[in-house]
Structure 1
Amino acid sequence: MPVRIGICGLGYMGMVYLDKALKMGDVEVSALIEKDRDKLNLLRCRFNIPCYEDYRNIENGIDGVVIASPASTHFEIAKFFLEKGVHVFVEKPLALTYEQAFWLSKIAESKDLKIQVGFLERYNPAFREGVKYLEDPIFFEARRIGPYPQRSVDVDVVLDLMIHDLDLLSFIKKERVVSIDAGGVNFIGEGFDEAFAVLKFEDSTKGIFIASRISSQRERSLRIIEEERIVNIDFLNVRLSIQSKKLGSTDTKIFECEKKDLVKEELEDFIHYIKGEGEPLTKARDTLSALYLAEKIKEAIGNS
């Protein structure tokens, strides 16, 4: 039996998920939800799939739902489907606040349901290969910058971009953050369009995070320094370089990692997760700390 899923929000990412899902043999797309009537009518003409303007009106049963609607709607929609007994995949962020995200994970656990969060960079081959070389990081530097996106943006740059790197940091580093210094600037949107944060951990490790959606340049990188090596991860070009310490110099090895379809991989993980055939890289519980740090960074920016 195929897994029946609905897709809620057919903007840019929603259409990407739809394209991948339609090509998966063990998946049946049983519902499309989009509040834009013009777009919904186009979907009705193009696909032989039941379409709904309101997610609360779905008539046919679904096993799981992919939520790719604006971030401000994630909590409300995810809560509705969980309470209906439906497994949930949510594009990042899971919710706008840590409290909301924690509440969703508690609902899922109480009903033995699955929640997965869409953090694509966890699937990036350069990152997955790079973490194999890590032993004891002492410094992190993350840069995620680019032009203002054409897609819908209803959250600030911390929840839109920086949260990717906070999630990666939380995966690598388990120690508690003891201090945060941060700043941000509004330029186009209502929230911060550029922000930085300096985090210090209880073991004195530090991390610098820079995120911007008003840059003319594009960069998505993570630099991790240890006593004996530096691990450089280039997410855009899927490239990894390792600088190893030598007497008076460094020896650098460069790895060109195989590019993969990351959206397909995370969607396949969700389907396997529903079927009880494995766990994804980004279960809801595992992503809560990134949202917690994002909240604290936003508070620090507000107090700066």
Structure 2
Amino acid sequence: IVEPKYIRAERTSGYTFRSTDIGVVHDLMIHDIDLVLSLVCSPLHSVEAFGVTVIGGYEDVAQARLRFENGCIADLTASRISPTIARSFHAWSAGGCVTCDMHTREVKRFAPSDALRFGPAPLDMARQPGADIEQLKKDVFGHFVAVETLPVNASGPDALTQELTEFVDCVRNRREPHVDGEQALQAMIVAEAVLKSLAAHRWDGHARETIAPPIHGSTIHRDAA
């Protein structure tokens, strides 16, 4: 992925009753923040976020939009009270789009084909008398938009196991990890900016904003900054 201009990430799961001392931003969204920062080589410009608490004392659902100085926008969704498990990551650039399903470990790349770049425009073809619209629909993916499934080692260990294995290897062999302390710190700084924006979002417009619906008395109130 070269110079992504738009990124969308979704990370959802059911409520596990683990990590109850933190919210979903530090529990789940932090991983996608780290991925975004590894792809976008630009300072962060602004953060907008909101969240909902349903079960405990911290946010269980969070939505954040990160804007970078080079124009890239990243929309991140995290939920730990979802009936479905999702680990998706989409990145758009001038050259096309890459989609990653990290739950099934499937990666696909979509890019304009030579037929789309150098051939007759599909819309012009559709306007021709007697145009076969149904065939043009079928030709969108494959003929006009090239679709490539990228190889992924689906039989390897999960990300957490790899992380712990690399940590032990770095300690034993005194080498630098793929994600060093500075990179981890930058992800934490962005996560804190997300939480600050989340706390400032006013659901009811009052000075003491509500960042969660009143479900079983679990509503959180935080003083406005």
Which residue of structure 1 lines up, in the alignment, with residue 89 of structure 2? 222
State the match for 2:168 in structure 1: 271
User: Aligned residue for 2:221?
Assistant: none
2:77 aligned counterpart, secondary structure: strand
TM-score by length of 1: 0.54
Q: Give the aligned residue type for 1:210.
A: T
The C-alpha deviation readout for 1:110-153, integer Å capped at 9, x for no partner, is: xxxxxxxxxxxxxxxxxxxxxxxx11110000000111124342
Q: CA offset at residue 297 of structure 1?
A: 0.6
Correspondence 1:1-304 to 2 at 5 A: 134-246=1-113, 247=116, 248=122, 249-255=144-150, 257-259=152-154, 260-262=156-158, 263-276=160-173, 278-304=175-201
Cα 1:174/1:136, change in 2 over 3 Å:
closer
CA distance in 1, matches of 2:69, 2:47: 12
Deviation per residue, 1:60-113 (Å, 9 max, x gap): xxxxxxxxxxxxxxxxxxxxxxxxxxxxxxxxxxxxxxxxxxxxxxxxxxxxxx
Aligned residues: 171
Q: CA deviation at 1:233?
A: 0.9
Mapped to 1, the partners of 2:171 and 2:51 lie a distance apart of 39
AA paired with 1:301? L
CA distance in 2, matches of 1:271, 1:186: 36
Aligned partners of 2:164 and 2:3: how far apart in 1?
32
Give the structure with higher Rg (CA): 2
Equivalent residue number for residue 30 of structure 1: none
- Aligned residues of 2:88 and 2:99 also touching (Cα < 8 A): yes
Query: What is the deviation of 1:228?
Result: 1.6
Q: How big is the shift at 1:255? A: 3.1
Contact 2:50 2:198 in 1 (8 A): yes
Taking only the aligned residue pairs, the percentage that are identical comes to 28
Q: CA deviation at 1:253?
A: 1.2
CA distance, structure 2, for counterparts of residue 152 and residue 197 of structure 1: 20
Maintained 8 Å contact 2:42/2:70: yes
Distance (whole Å) between structure 2 residues aligned to residue 301 and residue 152 of structure 1? 19
- What SS is found at the alignment partner of 1:275? helix
Structure 1 residues 176 and 264: CA distance shift in structure 2, 3 A:
same
* Displacement after TM superposition at 1:267 (Å): 2.7
Q: What is the RMSD of the two structures over their aligned residues, measured on CA atoms? A: 1.5
Specify the code of the residue in structure 2 equivalent to 1:261.
P
**2: CA distance, partners of 1:173 / 1:275:** 31
Q: Which residue of 2 aligns with 1:59?
A: none
Query: Tell me, which stretches of 5 or more residues in structure 2 are unaligned?
Result: 117-121, 123-143, 202-225
- Alpha-carbon offset, residue 252 of structure 1: 0.9
Structure with a larger share of its residues in helix? 1
Structure 2 letter corresponding to 1:270: F
TM-score by length of 2: 0.71
**Residue 258 of structure 1: how far off its partner (Å):** 1.8
Q: Is the 8 A contact 2:99 2:109 kept in 1?
A: yes
Secondary structure at the aligned position of 2:14 is classed as coil
Which runs of no fewer than 5 residues in structure 1 stay unpaired?
Answer: 1-133
The separation in 2 between residues aligned to 1:293 and 1:216, in whole angstroms, is 27
- Judging changes above 3 Å, is the alpha-carbon distance between structure 1 residues 264 and 298 closer, same or farther for their aligned structure 2 residues? closer
